[in-house]
Amino acid sequence: MKNRGWVCLCAAVIVFAWTTIATAHEIGTTRVSTRFEGESYAIEITTDAASLIEKLDAVGGSPTDATTARVDAAAMAKRLVACDDVFRQRVTVAFDGTDARPNIHYTVSPASDAMSPLLATIRLTGEVPRGASHFTWSYSWTFASYALSVTNGSLASTTEWLEGGQASAPFALAAPPPPVGRAAVARQYLLLGFTHIVPHGLDHMLFVLGLFLLSGRLRTVLAQVSAFTVAHSITLGLSIYGVITVPSAVVEPLIAVSIAYVAVENMLLSELKPWRIALVFAFGLLHGLGFAGALRELGLPRAEFMTALLTFNAGVEAGQLAVIAAAFAIVGWHCRRQTWYRQRVVVPASLLIACTALYWTVERIAPEASALGSWL
Amino acid sequence: MRCRIFVALTTTLALSGTSLRAHDMWIEPATFSPSVGDIVAVKLRVGQDLLGDPLPRDPALINQFFVVDGEGRKPVVGRDGSDPAGFIRVAAPGLLVVGYRSNPSVVDLTPEKFNQYLKEEGLDAVAAVRARRGQTGGARDLFSRCAKSLVASDAPANGQGDRPLGFTLEIVAERNPTTMAAGEDLPLRLTYENHPLAGALVVAINRAHPKEKLSARTDKDGRVRFQLPRTGMWLIKAVHMIEAPPTAGADWVSYWASLTFELQDRASVRSAS
């Protein structure tokens, strides 16, 4: 039975990993880098020269002479200069939502060997308007994914993946606020982790209570909480680092289902079974994704990324332990050993938790349905 | 180092779940009519109306990339992260069938874009299912490529022709287009999981005149016929979409088949034969 539990867990992890990892994007050869220095900006686009000219000619209405234009770097650069007006139609450099008109310089480098394509380097330069706070960019001369990197002197840098025609996220040009010290970040994120459980995380609180209610033995509670902690720490870390991504529309209903499952099992079982640990571990993986979603919404300071991640996780642990401590305090150490404990405490409390969790499941899967229910 | 950075960037993007729109993807050899002994660059292109961007060789995307000639099946070799994505060596006269099968990519589409995509690709059955279920939202599509290209070296014999490569969705030319002239009748067969696919929209696009598209629906045997009126490079394409299985992490799974080749003028065909 023990083995079967682990086999099921491994299978679940493999399926989970396959669905989240086994996809890749079609990345082209275009790259865009933007640099702000003082009052000026310089944007450099490197892209395949021949395919850009083909597209410019198609939009501009003059078909490319394939035999001459694709081999001579100087002729291609000349062609790009001639297409300047057309090129500008599908490139946007904007400050605070207002389009700027950069100076554009086109060059095409000779290929390193006969088989390599010629690369065009297009340099857009200009002055940042006085008082501008945000920069946005879009480039519609590619059909594939491309990377946009933005550097603001020594203040900040980002890399964003975009599709052709997709506008970038606004890039703040003002200096970021002064960095906060490590101790302050640790304190802040420890508190954020704790408050994510108590009082804001009622669903996580009910899950931990479900673990507590299974049996009166402290060892049972500790074994489950340990499995849950290890699991959610794994997915919290992996998700924050972008190794796995699962939409919250999937995670949140499953978290509700996990709470219902634990509560229902409490009504059917009175002692720890091996598969329960495996399941709690699997549910921990799910809850970790939920914690990651919350942490992402809060944001992580770039300079103290690891401190914030670790202390947030520690805060979550502290919150869970606080729930268990409170439960011990309310139920009392001795009550847990009484014969009526199961009938009068475990079963009714688990029933209440199960009903609440099932309601959340429906609410999270189909918010319209639950909205209609409350209206009726 | 460049390759390593490319792979790292690929992986980062692969996991980021950004939103994009699926475009056509095709194979574009440096020449469709090489001589024996030539090394031919095989470029992969993604785009619309045969205006494409280079798709460099990406080990994370490649499921199969090979060429079939008279001697059998050989891999299309190349350097990771580079364009052209691969190279083939023409060992003997005859027809070479180049095949590229990709791993799936995810695309998140807004309702407008998804509906437009269904309309453009003629996926009426999917649109009907959505309408019946009252689904009006966006969708996550897990798409993959099944691209082929026909390269003829030194006038292949009439008996040589396109052949099925076993791709999930596949266009097979039932007559060798490399020995045909513009205007002649070209029968094509569309198969899904090696069975004829009926009612699918098949589109033909000429490189020099991409706006003048020809299109037809496959009959019950998965067959369409085109009289391609112009010489030069042609792209034949079709898309098939099915409902995603529960473990796929998507709403729909689509397969994009393409076939590229070059049609000659009548004089060239006559002199070759």
What is the tens place of the pLDDT at every residue in B133-145?
998 888 999 999 9
Residue B75 has pLDDT above 70, yes or no: yes
Q: Which residues contact A7 (CB under 8 A, 6 or more apart)?
A: none
- Amino acid A155: pLDDT: 66
Nearest Cα to B123, choosing from B236, B201, B15, B13?
B201
What is the tens place of the pLDDT at every residue in B103-122?
998 888 889 989 999 999 99
Cβ-in-10-Å burial (0-12, 13-18, 19+) of A126 comes to middle
Query: Can you say whether the dihedral through the CA atoms of B261, B265, B266, B269 is positive or negative?
Result: negative
Report, as an integer, the average pLDDT of A312-334: 83
Report, as an integer, the average pLDDT of A85-112: 92
Q: What is the DSSP letter of A336?
A: G
Report, as an integer, the average pLDDT of A329-337: 73
Encode B161-214 in three state secondary structure.
CCCCCCCCEEEEECCCHHHCECCCEEEEEEEECCEECCCCEEEEEECCCCCCCE
- Amino acid B2: pLDDT: 37
CB contact under 8 A, B20 and A25: yes
CB contact under 8 A, A161 and B103: no
Long-range contact set of residues B251-255: C-beta below 8 Å, sequence gap at least 24: B251/B139, B251/B140, B251/B141, B252/B126, B252/B139, B252/B140, B252/B141, B252/B142, B253/B104, B253/B141, B253/B142, B253/B143, B253/B144, B254/B22, B254/B141, B254/B142, B254/B143, B254/B144, B255/B143, B255/B144, B255/B146, B255/B168, B255/B169, B255/B192
> Mind telling me how many Å the CA of B66 is from chain A's nearest CA?
19
CB contact, 8 Å: B51 with chain A? yes
pLDDT band of residue A216 (cuts 50, 70, 90) is low
Torsion of CA A51, A125, A82, A163, to 10 degrees: 30
Residue B254 Cα to chain centre, angstroms: 13
Query: Cα angle at A30 between A28 and A31, to 5 degrees?
Result: 125
What percent of chain B shows pLDDT beyond 90? 64
What is the tens place of the pLDDT at every residue in A39-71?
899 999 999 999 999 889 888 776 555 544 556
CB contact, 8 Å: B58 with chain A? yes
Q: Look at the block and give the residue holding tokens 């507590």.
A: A212
Report, as an integer, the average pLDDT of A108-116: 78
Neighbouring CB atoms inside 10 A of A302's CB total 12
Question: What single-letter amino acid sits at A30?
Answer: T
Residue B171 has pLDDT above 60, yes or no: yes
Bigger pLDDT: A302 vs A266: A266
CB contact, 8 Å: A239 with chain B? no
Nearest Cα to A345, choosing from A360, A330, A359?
A330
Q: Using an 8 Å Cβ cutoff, are A148 and A165 in contact?
A: no
Nearest Cα to B229, choosing from B270, B272, B266, B179?
B266
CB contact under 8 A, B14 and A23: yes
Neighbouring CB atoms inside 10 A of B31's CB total 14
What is the rounded CA–CA span in Å between residue B194 and residue B90?
28
Q: Which helix (H) or strand (E) holds B129?
A: helix B124-133
Residue B206 has pLDDT above 70, yes or no: yes
CB contact, 8 Å: B48 with chain A? yes
What is the rounded CA–CA span in Å between residue B257 and residue A325?
60
What is the rounded CA–CA span in Å between residue B6 and residue B11?
9
Choice among A22-36, A302-316, A361-375, B59-73 with the minimum mean pLDDT? A361-375
Considering only the beta carbons, identify the residue of B52, B105, B106 that sits closest to A51.
B52
Residue A374 has pLDDT above 70, yes or no: no
What is the rounded CA–CA span in Å between residue B215 and residue B202?
6
Q: Which two tokens stand for residue A329?
A: 């305090």
pLDDT band of residue B27 (cuts 50, 70, 90) is very high
Considering only the beta carbons, identify the residue of B49, B53, B106 that sits closest to A144.
B53
Q: Which residues of A touch B17 (CB under 8 A)?
A: 245, 247
Q: Which two tokens stand for residue A336?
A: 């847990």
Choice among A18-22, A330-334, B141-145, B166-170 with the minimum mean pLDDT? A18-22
CB contact under 8 A, A15 and B247: yes
Considering only the beta carbons, identify the residue of A54, A115, A143 that sits closest to B46.
A143
> Mind telling me how many Å the CA of B13 is from chain A's nearest CA?
7
Residue A110 Cα to chain centre, angstroms: 40
CB contact under 8 A, B46 and A144: yes
Residue A1 has pLDDT above 70, yes or no: no
Residue A376 has pLDDT above 50, yes or no: no
CB contact under 8 A, B83 and A117: yes
> Mind telling me how many Å the CA of A295 is from chain B's nearest CA?
17
Cis peptide before A247 (omega within 30 of 0): no
Considering only the beta carbons, identify the residue of A23, A28, A116 that sits closest to B106.
A23
Using CA coordinates, name the residue in chain A closest to B244.
Answer: A19
What is the rounded CA–CA span in Å between residue B57 and residue A265?
51
- Amino acid B269: pLDDT: 60
CB contact, 8 Å: B47 with chain A? yes
CB contact under 8 A, A115 and B15: no
Q: Which residues contact B180 (CB under 8 A, 6 or more apart)?
A: B186, B263, B264, B269
DSSP per-residue codes, B24-80: EEEEEES-SSPPTT-EEEEEEEEEETTEEEE----TTTEEEEEEEETTEEEE-B--T
Bigger pLDDT: A181 vs B175: B175
Q: What angle separates helix A274-298 from helix A218-240, to the nearest 10 degrees? A: 40
- Amino acid B154: pLDDT: 79
CB contact, 8 Å: A147 with chain B? yes
Report, as an integer, the average pLDDT of A253-269: 87
- Amino acid B19: pLDDT: 37
CB contact, 8 Å: A19 with chain B? yes
Could you tell me the pTM of the whole model?
Answer: 0.63
Q: Using an 8 Å Cβ cutoff, are A186 and A311 in contact?
A: yes
Neighbouring CB atoms inside 10 A of B111's CB total 13
β-bridge mates for residue B185, sequence order:
B227
Select the highest-mean-pLDDT range: A222-236, A246-260, A344-358, B53-67.
B53-67
- Amino acid A8: pLDDT: 39
What is the tens place of the pLDDT at every residue in A142-151?
988 888 988 8
Residue A17 has pLDDT above 70, yes or no: no
CB contact, 8 Å: B205 with chain A? no
What percent of chain A shows pLDDT beyond 70? 82
Q: Which two tokens stand for residue A40?
A: 């000026």
Report, as an integer, the average pLDDT of A328-337: 74
CB contact under 8 A, B54 and A48: yes
- Amino acid A66: pLDDT: 52
Residue A7 has pLDDT above 60, yes or no: no
CB contact under 8 A, B53 and A22: no
Residue A217 has pLDDT above 80, yes or no: no
CB contact, 8 Å: A369 with chain B? no
What is the rounded CA–CA span in Å between residue B202 and residue A361?
43
Report, as an integer, the average pLDDT of A92-105: 94
What is the rounded CA–CA span in Å between residue B29 and residue B150?
9
Using CA coordinates, name the residue in chain A closest to B20.
Answer: A163
ipTM of this model? Answer: 0.80
Question: What single-letter amino acid sits at A334?
Answer: H
CB contact under 8 A, B13 and A145: yes
